Chain A
Amino acid sequence: MILSLAWKNIWRSKKRSFVVIGAIIVGVWALVFMFAFYNSFIEAFSRNGVNHDYSHIQIHNPDYLIEPGLEFRLSEVEALEQSLNGSQSVKSWSGRQIVNGMLASPKTSLGVQIYGVVPDAEAQTTGLESQLLDGTYFSAIKRNPILISEKLADKLKVKVRSKVVITLQKLDREITAASFRVEGIFKSKSPRINESAAYVRLSDLQSLTAVTGLNEMAVYLNDSELILPVKDSLSAVTNDLVRTYREIAPEFDMMEQQSAMTKQIVTVIIMLALLFGIVNTMLMAVLERTKEIGMLRSIGMHKKSVFRMIILETCLMSLIAGPLGLFFGYLTNMWLETNGMDLSAYATALEEYGMDAIFYPSIENVTYPILMMVVIFTAFLGAVYPAIKAIKLDPLEAIRKL
């Protein structure tokens, strides 16, 4: 009964109700879109990090973490190789020798990390080959080929087939150098790799350093769900340190926490704005009806029924608006999930952070009911003060104020 009266009351001032309903729709839609956008941001960031830099799991000598250096190599490479090659869960893996050195061109020289890799394994694990902008992938140049990033190439002012010299310190502290020829120039989706990595063949690096063995193994899995079981089984065969990409790079967790916090803050801000709008509108609706509410109280409507009526009016509006906002948000996301959102105008800045220029916003289904509850709760909160005002009215008003 009160429900149907509340429902009818909503439509007595259509314009005002539409403003409230419209505001809720826009607010909810904006939240859904913002959530989806953030999710795709995070998703792109971790996807690029996993696919082109860290892989799912990496293995190091525990001391390598304290001070990365040639001397801290993996101790049980063979056992690991066996375990990795025999695992159904592993898509590919790449063993690397990594050494810090100088890369010199006729113009200038730079400090870089030199990765000695097995070309095929590296291509399958980090997609290095697919990221070439220019040149070829360890096939055209027979002696000492090297791949460098576009960024390094610019700094060194070298091109494909240019000659560069690697200088490094061997384990016995003796300095050694060798000349390499640039075979390819790549642009990785990982900003870290673009900044300082150069790739050579493992065998070339091993003969330069006069050291066999590996400093790092990166493992790419068929499915990210498999990370923990594979980590456990690898830990069982080695004393070396097996870590997941989240353990290696805290920025993934940080990004996620930051995004969760940002989502919460924006939700609170939008809900606060809605809250003030609702309080204001409902207060107006109550004050306009002073006389009518007084009459209702006079003829025997209880305070709690009047209170409920005002609360219901507001919550009903949120029940109309909430689903509409969610639905529009859902449609927008559906469209963007298939078509993508082209942000190539900001490509340079985005690439700095390891993002893609095209976003595919997506959202967890659970977000919809949660947002719906938040909206209803906001409407309820916004109605409380006007409803209290309404029941504080003196029923005498009905007869006095003619």
Chain B
Amino acid sequence: MSVIEAKSVSKIYNPDTIPVHAINDVSLTIEEGEFTAIVGPSGCGKTTLLNMIGGLDSVSEGHISVSGVNIADLNEAALTDFRLKNIGFVFQSYNLIPVLTAKENVEFVMLLQQSHQSAMDERADELLTKMGIKEVSQRRPAELSGGQQQRVAVARALASKPKFILADEPTANLDSHSTESLLDIMAKMNEEEKATFIFSTHDQRVIDKARRIITLEDGRIVSDEKK
């Protein structure tokens, strides 16, 4: 079964005032283990599409199912639970919890899932090591570089082994060196952890690393190529 199935999905903002057709009749399927980039010019609807897949925004038409569950059928609390158990999020501006250390940030989603402390410890150490940031695990986000913070964010997203990870322009705030190493690490996690990644980007170097590239224009898919 596919991880994500979107069928004829549309999104219309402000339907009652000045309607904006952000996504028009998009259908796509994401399989387990994919490393997929959603690309396209600014305003083409990348963020909107990712938000709908992530259950953060509602679908105007069509439907999206994740592992066979139609996310439109879930109420507020069930949807929150659904995100907690199935989806890892990486944000453009890192969005770590400033009062927690890097390691505590990585453990946070597992904490919300009420995992055991020993299991969390082990998993966080494992991920921080793989990410190459073990030595800064006791620092707070403010004491980390942007690249390090984003690696912590990827580790946090991976920690509870979600079905897939959504990353909206994860490298937009990073310099080219950090961008490259973050992508390498994501690719490595894709291999080692069998983690499914879906990320949006403008950046050609990031696009080059993707194994599937879905191009949006004016809210429609104009090309979908696999490498």
Contact = CB atoms under 8 A, between A and B. Distances in A.
B139 to A, nearest CB: 15
Given A395-B56, A399-B51, A399-B56, A5 B80 contact: no
A396 interface: yes
A194 interface: no
Contact of A8 (B84, B100, B112): B100
Contacts of B112: 1, 299-301, 305
Given A8-B100, A396-B56, A303 B76 contact: yes
Contacts of A297: 80
B92 interface: yes
B77 to A, nearest CB: 6
A5 B100 contact: yes
Interface string A1-33: 100010011011000000000000000000000
A261 B168 CA distance: 61
B77 A302 contact: yes
B74 to A, nearest CB: 13
Contact of A12 (B98, B108, B109): B98
A298 B162 CA distance: 14
B91 A295 contact: yes
Nearest to A302: B80
22 contacts: A8-B100, A9-B99, A291-B95, A292-B97, A292-B98, A295-B89, A295-B91, A298-B54, A298-B56, A299-B84, A299-B108, A299-B109, A299-B112, A299-B156, A301-B84, A301-B112, A303-B80, A305-B112, A396-B57, A399-B47, A399-B56, A399-B91
B193 interface: no
Interface of B: 47, 51, 54, 56-57, 76-77, 80-81, 83-85, 87-89, 91-93, 95, 97-100, 108-109, 111-113, 156, 168
B92 A5 contact: no
Interface of A: 1, 5, 8-9, 11-12, 291-292, 295-303, 305, 395-396, 398-400, 402
Contacts of B88: 299
Given A300-B81, A300-B83, A398 B91 contact: yes
Nearest to A305: B112
A75 B76 CA distance: 85
A211 B7 CA distance: 115
B2 to A, nearest CB: 22
A393 to B, nearest CB: 12
A298 B97 contact: no
Contacts of B51: 396, 399
The A interface is mostly helix, strand or loop, or mixed, namely helix
A299 B93 CA distance: 14
A299 B98 contact: no
B6 to A, nearest CB: 18
A398 B92 CA distance: 10
B76 to A, nearest CB: 7
A14 to B, nearest CB: 12
Given A8-B100, A11-B99, A402-B93, A1 B111 contact: yes
A79 B76 CA distance: 84
**Chain B CB within 10 Å, residue with most, of A292, A298, A300, A301:** A300
A402 B92 contact: yes
User: What are the 7 A-B residue pairs with the smallest beta carbon separation, nearest first?
Assistant: A300-B84, A8-B99, A295-B95, A300-B83, A1-B111, A402-B93, A302-B80
Nearest to B86: A300
Nearest to A294: B95
A1 B114 CA distance: 9
Contacts of A399: 47, 51, 56, 91-92, 168
Contacts of A301: 80, 84, 112
A300 to B, nearest CB: 3
Contacts of B57: 396
Nearest to A401: B93
A9 to B, nearest CB: 6
Given A302-B81, A399-B92, 15 more contacts: A5-B97, A5-B99, A5-B100, A8-B99, A8-B100, A9-B99, A298-B89, A299-B84, A300-B109, A305-B112, A395-B56, A399-B51, A399-B56, A399-B91, A402-B92
Nearest to A295: B95
A292 B98 CA distance: 9
Contacts of B77: 302-303
A80 B105 CA distance: 84
